[in-house]
Amino acid sequence: MRKSEREIKDFNEVIDVLHRCDTVHLGIFGEEYPYVVPLSFGYEVANGKIILYVHGAQEGLKHDLITVNNKVCAEAGICHRFADTGRGVTTVYESVIGFGTAEKIFGEEAAKGLDFLLSHCGFAGYQYDKEVLNILTVYKITLDSVTGKRRTV
């Protein structure tokens, strides 16, 4: 990280930033260009790693690209405001970037992933028809490395 004084070194603070984010941008290897898609998400921490859960259709570009190469980059950020520092205008922000592996999950594991997603989106305990698991794909993204960063004024 170029500006190491902005790095969030405490893992619990990184989790706090992630918790306050509403969207994760998933970077996937494309054929000619990288592909980045914004997604709602849920997460858990297990064995010291952040695990993200996202969902989508059973077909489409995201699905096709992950099938070919499941190594991904996940980014989530919060822009608090823009500020005049007296030397110029800057962004006051917090962000999390992680690298990991996406895998399709099924059955009870997929239901658990949807529960984390619904909880993070403000619908903890939401009762849905489990048949929905037959018409969508749930991905579990285990982040092998994570970095947090913030800019304050």
| pTM (whole model) above 0.85 | yes
Helix (H, G, I), strand (E, B) or coil at 31: coil
Please state the length of the chain: 153
Which CATH number applies to 4-151?
2.30.110.10
Q: Could you report the per-residue pLDDT of 41-64, keeping only the tens digit for each? A: 999 999 999 999 999 999 999 999
Query: Phi and psi of 46, rounded to 5°?
Result: -140, 130
Q: Could you report the per-residue pLDDT of 52-104, keeping only the tens digit for each? A: 999 999 999 999 999 999 999 999 999 999 999 899 998 999 999 999 999 99
Q: What residues does each domain of the chain span?
A: 4-151
User: Side chain identity at 35, as an amino acid letter?
Assistant: Y
Nearest to 63 by CA among 110, 99, 116, 102: 102
72, 96 Cβ separation under 8 angstroms: no
Nearest to 97 by CA among 32, 5, 21, 35: 21
